[in-house]
Chain A
Amino acid sequence: MLRTTINSLSAHKLRTALSVLGILIGVASVIAMISVGQGATYDIRSRVESLGADLVTVSPAFRVGRAGVASAQITETFTLELADELAKAPAVRDVVPVIQTNGTIKYRDRNLQTTLMGVTPAYPSVVNYPVARGRFFSAQDLENYAKVLVLGSEVAQQLFPDEDPLGKEVVLERAGTRFLFTIIGVMTSKGQLGFGQYDNRIYLPVTTVARRITGDRTVNFYNLRVASTDQVDEAIAQVEFILSRRISNPEDYRVRAQQDIIETVNQNAITMTFLLGGIAAIALLVGGIGIMNILLVSVVERTREIGIRKALGAKRRDILWQFLTESVFVSVLGGVMGLLMGVGAAALIASFSRWPLIVPSYAVFLALGFSLIVGLIFGVYPAARAARLDPVEALRYE
């Protein structure tokens, strides 16, 4: 039976190859898309998780502008002093007020647009982001409004491609004003996060930024480290209580735990994976229609052969199986080849994007099972048509 299948498929090699290609592309894209979705998710999640599950961020919400009042951040109460208030929450270990602004950093003839992060000495431990070389600034630097800064790894690489940045003096320029700073450290590489690019920033004492650069004691947000991972909910409740005494409308600020962000990322990832997989499944469907098309042509072409086989004693079932076997053979062949191609493509994309190659086993079963089902579904109609042919008419067919 298999020999008959191979004989008739090899009689039309190009046609068979094109049918196989249709399924191959479908299955390969399903595998590649799911794998890319999973890999990207894993990548984002591991970076978000690298900040630590016990990180809580307090930020002002945006207020919708109404009757001429422009939407604005509630920053009046978000000050350096509020950080000390928040630190009184028992479930909170550390609070880092963050002032974020933009500026240009210059060293000799090189300059770079960058984000200035005014933070406190607790910052590396709070966001799980250690110094690679040199040191982070101390409590004393904070008190003295010291003009010292720590470079993100990317900034260090671009500004000092072949020099040691430690101890070098650089110029910071913001809004036309220039400041002389000394580099005291370089951070480790953290990689890119969905919402923040740690490596492209520079880190300064928050007091220095507030006093010398922005001249404003309001901060953009607070990073909080919870005393222990299982106290996240408690910490949030305490922080919200402290804030509620100062800000009447709870919609004016947001308290978000890193855990929630991780969950959101996961949710988005699932949606993305299904979306990509769904688009790829359409390709598989199109491949299936291709098989059906070819088989219908093949049934007409082979009407006489079907007549001969029936005269020799083939039952409907025999003819049905013959065509169904061809269709399933083509689709499963395409499925297996598509699986290999899909994994190959996923590996290629993963290596370019530097995330791990993840091919979930369900994707493999899904693709192979799907190709089998496509072969069956799109083979049944042509096969049934062949099986139903009247032997006398089929033998008369020229």
Chain B
Amino acid sequence: MGELFHLEDVTKVYKMGEVEVRALDGVSFAIQRGEFLAIMGPSGSGKSTVMHLLGCLDRPTSGRMVLDGLDLLKASDNQLAEIRNAKIGFVFQQFNLLPRESALRNVETPAIYAGMKRSERVRRARELLERVGLGDRLFHFPSQLSGGERQRVAIARALMNDPAIVLADEPTGNLDTKTGEEILTLFRNLHKEGRTVVLVTHDRRVAEYASRILHMQDGRILKEERVN
């Protein structure tokens, strides 16, 4: 299996005017290839900051972060964009679909930035949408889809460039319990197929879908828990 992501003594300090806010205070952990990991904690615990760092949307203030052998602290903005494009698949609480593009086009977008050929891109996007059960909704716009359907489009989009890691930030936060369970089952299936999935949540029932839970509080990792 091996290590996919390695974080060592990572800190993140935000400057809010004169005041410094220590969002992360020396966090170290590793993510194994093919693992289903949940990062859990109340709001303000630093889990969103971890999510942004894991998603390469931001750089830590200090520490060491290595993804798949790449040192993220040394990466330029452009390199980070390339890493996000090739290695990260995002699923957000608010779905974050592009409102003016069809479901198909939304799924295609990461591949457009990767420079994939149009014919191949459309074929793959179609396949992924069919896999999440939306084969008959290809040309619907986000506003014409239900919450559960939107999140499925987002998952298909996250898988488009065959990422090393799927990052989900409260993916069921805006869904009812039943739809939420369907989405979580989808993530569990992805894990079973061998994908690395990281779930960020405040909800214990959601976190229990993972095989390992990191509990965070005040910018630190409080404890680690194995789930069966």
Contacts and interface: CB of A to CB of B under 8 A. Distances in A.
The secondary-structure label for the interface of chain A is helix
A312 B110 contact: yes
A315 B82 contact: yes
Contacts of B84: 310-313
A132 interface: no
A391 B57 contact: yes
B100 A395 contact: no
Given A7-B101, A392-B52, A313 B81 contact: yes
Nearest to B77: A316
B52 A313 contact: no
B78 A313 contact: no
Contacts of B58: 391-392
B161 interface: yes
Contact of A316 (B52, B78, B96, B157): B78
B110 A395 contact: no
- Residue from the set A11, A313, A395 with the largest chain B CB neighbour count within 10 Å: A313
B125 to A, nearest CB: 13
Contacts of A391: 57-58
The interface size bin for chain B is: 20 to 34
A309 B96 contact: no
A318 B109 CA distance: 12
Interface in A1-18: 1, 3-4, 7-8, 11
A309 B56 CA distance: 14
Interface string A258-284: 000000000000000000000000000
A312 B77 contact: no
Contacts of A7: 100-101
A395 B96 contact: yes
Given A8-B100, A318-B113, A395-B96, A311 B57 contact: yes
A199 to B, nearest CB: 65
A304 interface: yes
B99 interface: yes
The interface size bin for chain A is: 20 to 34
B85 A392 contact: no
B90 A312 contact: yes
Interface string B80-122: 0110111000101000111111000100011011100000000
Contacts of A310: 57, 81, 84
B82 A313 contact: yes
Contacts of B60: none
B57 A315 contact: no
Contacts of A315: 77-78, 81-82, 113
Nearest to A387: B77
B100 A314 contact: no
Given A7-B101, A309-B109, A395-B57, A314 B96 contact: no
A312 B99 contact: no
Nearest to B99: A305
A305 B157 CA distance: 15
A149 B98 CA distance: 85
B101 A311 contact: no
Contacts of B113: 309, 312-315, 318
Contacts of A314: 81, 85, 113
15 contacts: A7-B100, A11-B100, A305-B99, A308-B96, A309-B98, A309-B109, A309-B113, A313-B82, A313-B86, A314-B85, A315-B113, A317-B78, A391-B58, A392-B52, A395-B96
Given A312-B113, A313-B82, A315-B82, 15 more contacts: A8-B100, A11-B100, A305-B99, A309-B98, A310-B57, A311-B55, A311-B96, A312-B109, A313-B84, A313-B86, A313-B110, A314-B85, A315-B81, A316-B78, A395-B57
Interface of A: 1, 3-4, 7-8, 11, 304-305, 307-318, 391-392, 395
